[in-house]
Structure formats: C-alpha cells, structure tokens
Amino acid sequence: MIKAVILAAGKGTRMKSDTPKVLHQIFSKPLLGYVLDNVKNIADESFVIVGHHAEEVTKFVEKHYNNAKTVLQTPQLGTGHAVSMVCPHLENFDGQVIILCGDTPLITEKTLKEFIEYHNKNNSDLTVMSTIFENPANYGRIIRESDNTLKCIVEEKDATPEQKLVKEVNAGIYCLNWAKVKPAFSQLTSNNAQGEYYLTDIIAWGKKNDLKVNAYILENSDEIYGINSRQNLAAATRIINERKLNSLMENGVTIVDPTSTWISEDTEIGSDTTVFPATYIEGKNKIGKNCKIGPCAHLRGDVEIADNCKIGNFVEVKKAKINHNTNAGHLSYIGDAELGSNVNIGAGTITANYDPISKVKSRTILKDNVKIGSNTVLVAPVEIGKGTNIGAGSVITKNITEWALALTRAPLRVIEKWVKH
C-alpha cells in the first residue's frame, strides 16, 4: 500500500495574495489539484498538510477528493515538522509513503510511478528525487559520498561556498518505507539557520541508522518547478499548455496557432478537430472528432461536444452538452444548457441562465433540429421542442412544443420624413 503526504501549509508571501498559494489556479484548477490528481491513481489515501488559510484548503480538498484528508500543522516549524503531523494517522502503517509539495503542478503520474519503481528495484528504504539545474540557487543541494552514493541534502541557507557550486538539487519528492523511517520524525533537530525541522535531515538520519538511501535523478527538471510568485505561475501555465498542445497534435488534432491557443490538460479532443487561434479552453471538457473550435472561442469547463460540431468566433460555452452536427457560429453564450443534434444557433444568441434575485442558475434544453434565429434570448428554465424554429430577435420565456415557429417581435413602425422634420 502507498500513502501520499502533500505539503500545503505555507504562506506564499511572494504571491502577495489573500488566496493560499496552493489554491492559485492554472486553467481554473488549483495548484494543489494538479498534485492530488497525479497521485490519486498511485496512493490509496492522501494527507494534505495545511496551515495558512487551512479552512479554505480543507474546503477544497473535501469538496473534490474523496480519498484525501487534511491535517493541520500549527505552529509551522518546517517541512520535517509538517510530515510528523501524519504520524498519528499512520501509527500502524507498514507500506510506502511518498511526500510531495502542493505547489509543484507539473509533476506527472508517469514520473511518480517510475520514481517508486526505482525505489523498489534498488531495495531502498528512503529515496529522494533530484534533478540537475544549471542555476541551482535557492534549492537544497544533493551531497554525495566519494563513491557517488547519497550522503545528505544541504539547504541553500546552510550550504558552504563549495556546496553551493553543486548543480544537483533536491526535487522535494521522497519515497519512504514508512515503518523504518517514521522514528526519524521524533528525532529531528532544529540546529540550523532557520531554527526549523528540515525534512531533508531524514537523509542523514537514514545514513546514520544504516538504512539504504538513494537518489533518483529526474531528467525533465520542469516537472518539479515550484510556484512561489506570479511570474512562476505564468511560466508553469505556459509549460502545461505547451505540453498539452503537443500531446493533442501528436494525436491528430490541428492547432492552427499554438502561440495563441490555450487548452487545459483536463480537456479531451478527438482526432481531426481543428482549434483556431486565440481560443481559450479551461476546466474539464470533452470535444469530439471533426469539430471546429474558434477562433476566439472560450470554453469555461464542464463542456461536452460531440462529433462534427462548430463553436465559432466569440462563442462562450460553460456547463453544456452539445450533440453531433450542431453549430454555434458567432457571438453567442451557451451556459447550463443541453443542445440536441443538428441544432443551429444564430449569431448573438444568449442562454439567460442566471436569476440575480434568487441566485439560481437554470438549464436551457434544445431538442434535435432546433433552429435559433439571430439575437435571441432564451430565458431559463426553458425547453424548445424538436424541430422548432425561433424567429430572430425573440425573447423566449416558456417552453415551446415540437415543430413550431416561435417569435416575439414588436411591429415595425416607420415614421416618414422624421429625420428631416
């Protein structure tokens, strides 16, 4: 069995934000969500160590992850102290524990599996993940013995000038044989520049207690990129986006302009779909084959689009299911809606889904073969029957039966010579 411990108690002062660092978002998903998603198929249970804004982080975890729970660290006395908070929860546990940071959204499930395989293959008791940085400033240095085995990790603030020249750094991810390493957390000391209990000190403790300690070198150092500032957040977003776009193109999706297209990693797109420039797709979505998305389209999450559909320029879609051969070509908003097959949405169509007084969002349902004229407002909750046409410029406030024509249009008035008079 494998348990995960995710460190998420920090303040993130450089973010200069009232939002906890681990809840800052990339494509509408918090940083912590990326980490939890990448361990959910590896660990049967995750423990998220919370501190700063603990209630907000706990609310997010409880809402979205059934196999994760939060553990409060107070006061916050360092990373080693943070992990010690789970000791009561793992009193009789005899499996493996992986430790990660909640602000490293780029780590992948594939890498974590390879890391654990390395740990097992080498019969390790304790394995740390490392990587090589040409500019290793602010990272803990991996210090090896003369025979190249791992000796210890030295934090930047405690490193000697010689140690600071080392380019192999701590990636902040650990795999422990818990029963053997757990005693370390009651024996750590705070004899360092910060007066904190460092998680990195378990390496020296393991060596002292004759445990088998190894370091696994991660080749793609981007994966342990930590978020400490808004600049870091923007850089990580670009990396996640580039990774996603390359994956989509390798699987038969046309991205006309990768430099202006943004697609979340939780979006699935079928082959032979084309995504045009200046399109932004966030959240979790599923798009079928042979679709055309954009240019300048915005999908906001919880969107399902079947095959052979078109979501055109300046069309926004949210929490909607769109069946095959349906088109929304121009300047429309489709939210909290279900559209059938062979539906055509005219330019300027709006699903008015939100009641600002009751603060309730309602659904709009369009059955197969419905045709919506331009500049139409569909006031939810409303259902338009199969084959019905809605005249341009209409405001629809009640259900319409099948194969009808519905329109709400004031009579045209022409006052002759009015401008001259």
DSSP code, position 51: B
The alpha-carbon radius of gyration of the chain (Å, integer) is: 27
Whether residue 110 contacts residue 96, with contact meaning beta carbons closer than 8 Å, is answered with no
**How far is Cα 154 from Cα 64, in angstroms, rounded to an integer?**
36
Whether residue 244 contacts residue 191, with contact meaning beta carbons closer than 8 Å, is answered with no
Whether residue 255 contacts residue 249, with contact meaning beta carbons closer than 8 Å, is answered with yes
Q: Active site includes 81?
A: no
Whether residue 294 contacts residue 310, with contact meaning beta carbons closer than 8 Å, is answered with no
Task: Extract the tokens encoding 33.
Answer: 């969500």
**How far is Cα 394 from Cα 374, in angstroms, rounded to an integer?**
8
Handedness of CA 233, 45, 215, 77 (dihedral sign): positive
Q: What is the residue-wise DSSP string for 192-226?
A: STT----TTHHHHHHHHTT--EEEEEES-GGGG--
Give the residue from 161, 37, 190 showing the smallest Cα distance to 108.
37
- How many distinct helices (H) and strands (E) make up the chain? 8, 35
**How far is Cα 265 from Cα 113, in angstroms, rounded to an integer?**
19
Task: Extract the tokens encoding 51.
Answer: 């501190």
Indicate which residue of 53, 298, 330, 421 is catalytic: 330
**How far is Cα 311 from Cα 324, in angstroms, rounded to an integer?**
12
- Beta pairing, strands 141-144 & 150-154: antiparallel
- What angle, rounded to 10 degrees, do the helices at 54-64 and 31-39 form? 40
Give the residue from 317, 381, 369, 315 showing the smallest Cα distance to 342.
369
Residues marked as catalytic? 330
